[in-house]
Chain A
Amino acid sequence: MRLLTHNLLICPVHKKPLAIRNVSAVDIIPVEYQPRFLLRMIPRLDWSLLRAAAVSVESDCVDALPEAAPSPSELPALEKAVESGDRLPLLDALQRLLLETHVVGGQLHCEHGEFYVIADGIPNLLADAAVNPSETASEQAACTTEGS
């Protein structure tokens, strides 16, 4: 599972983003540079989730990610730079993180306490595959109304 895919996942029960923890294996698999694809992804990303994911997998690209995503008004200038062949550190970092960094083993934690397992690169996000470490049943019951 690439970090791009991680950014698009939600907890199937509570519809919340999931934090990557207890990473046991990460693969870096280089692919062709896709700056225009990455520019199209920027408005769709949960930026703080991506930054946290980069920290979880101990990526050396963390420092190249600004605190906040480029705003829509900044995108045309980035587009222009890409079309004229400039290599931008931000897009290099996004290329590495979103398209080339694969979490092979680890866990996806929901803020409600349960987690989902990533094994051999595939996350299991079936609701009944959730692992509840402390079995806080009262919390679970309180959250069933939050789905969209």
Chain B
Amino acid sequence: MDEISYPPSEDTYLLIDGCRSWFQEHGIRAAHPRTRPVLVLEVGCAAAFVLEALATDVAWLDGPQASSHAENCGLLPLLPFFIGSDVNLAALYQAQRRLAATLPIDLVCGSLMTALRADVFDLVLFNSPYVETSADELAEAQRCRDLRAAWAGGWLGLQVAAALIRQFMVTPTAALTSEHHASAWLLLVTQDRTWWHRAFSNQFAFFVKQRRAGDERLLVLALSRSQASLWYKWIWQELRAVDDSDRMSALVDME
């Protein structure tokens, strides 16, 4: 097999499972059709295995209660639309050849959310590169946009995730807020670090799922828009408190 992208692995399945259990809670609680997620973005989708799984099995999106409610009312189905973005163009073409053209999935080559309106998505998924690397290694991976970009995470394996959280924080426009759109969420797969557990106890993020994969302990967590900006302020203060100007400037550079 050619090495254009990685095959699905434990973290891929963890993101799929994390989505499902997250929706069990939020999809059903938001049973009104107007608040159900309809626009989903996966950042760093590579060969789009997560999107394929979600788009071909959308029963979980409504949940049993919502579905029977919809049927009772004679409502039409409400399927979400998925966009996948990645810096690896070859992996996107590989996905496109595999996916049926009728699936509600479009693919875009771009870096994080830099080429997308950040205010329109109900849900953003990111299996973030969480392996701790030096700044040079991260820069090299991002320059070459090869397989290394899928795992090189910079300091604490957090640098790329932090950049996406920053992009996700934007304020939605008035029209979107009035459409009950204030509740956008970011679902992140990352390494299980004490850092994140401190974020949970501060309510800057919600715990979704945890899994051991070989030597690694992985975590799925969810952040609302307002949590994302609280989290970002917090990490900034933490870095300032220890006077870590290198990492502070790295945070700014990633934008």
**What's the tally of chain B residues with a CB closer than 8 Å to chain A?**
40
> Are the CB atoms of B76 and A43 closer together than 8 Å?
no
Q: With A29-B101, A36-B33, A40-B38 known to touch, is A8 a contact of B178 (CB < 8 Å)?
A: no
Residue in A closest to B116 when the chains form the complex, CB atoms? A8
Expressed in whole angstroms, the minimum distance between the Cβ of A75 and any Cβ of chain B is 9
Q: A31-B102, A36-B33, A36-B78 are in contact. Are A124 and B89 (CB under 8 A)?
A: yes
Task: Give the chain A neighbours of B114 by CB distance below 8 A.
Answer: 12, 125, 127
Residues of B within 8 A of A2 (CB): 106
Q: Are B109 and A125 in contact (CB under 8 A)?
A: yes
Question: A: which residues have CB within 8 A of B?
Answer: 1-2, 4-5, 8-12, 27, 29, 31-37, 40-41, 43-44, 72, 82-83, 99, 102, 120-127, 129, 147-148
Closest to A36 in B: B78
Is B39 interfacial (CB 8 A cutoff)? yes
Among the 9-residue stretches B20-28, B79-87, B126-134, the one with 4 or more Cβ atoms under 8 Å from chain A is: B79-87
Q: Find B115's partner among A12, A35, A37, A102 (CB 8 Å cutoff).
A: A12
25 A-B pairs with CB atoms under 8 Å apart are: A1-B107, A5-B83, A8-B117, A8-B120, A12-B110, A12-B114, A12-B115, A34-B76, A34-B77, A36-B75, A36-B76, A37-B80, A40-B34, A41-B38, A43-B178, A43-B181, A44-B39, A72-B175, A82-B76, A83-B75, A99-B104, A124-B89, A125-B108, A126-B115, A148-B170
Q: Is B93 an interface residue (CB 8 A)?
A: yes
Asked if B107 and A122 make an inter-chain contact with CB atoms under 8 angstroms apart, the answer reads yes
Given contacts A8-B116, A120-B96, contact A37 B81 (CB under 8 A): yes
Q: Quick check: is B111 within 8 A (CB to CB) of the other chain?
A: yes
Chain A residue at smallest Cβ distance from B106: A5
Q: In chain B, what residue has the closest Cβ to A148?
A: B170
B102 adjacent to A10 (CB under 8 Å): no
Cβ of B87: which chain A residues have Cβ within 8 Å of it? 126
Contact assessment for B104 and A31 in the assembled complex, using a CB-CB cutoff below 8 Å: yes
Inter-chain CA distance A40–B114, complex, in Å, is 24
Q: B156 at the A/B interface (Cβ < 8 Å)? A: no
Contact flag A72-B79 (CB < 8 Å), given A126-B87, A126-B109: no
A48 CB, nearest partner CB in chain B, Å:
14
Q: Known contacts A8-B83, A122-B93; is A37 also within 8 Å of B38 by CB?
A: yes
| Contact across chains for B38 and A123 when beta carbons are under 8 A apart | no
Which residues from chain A contact B145 at a C-beta distance below 8 Å?
Answer: 126
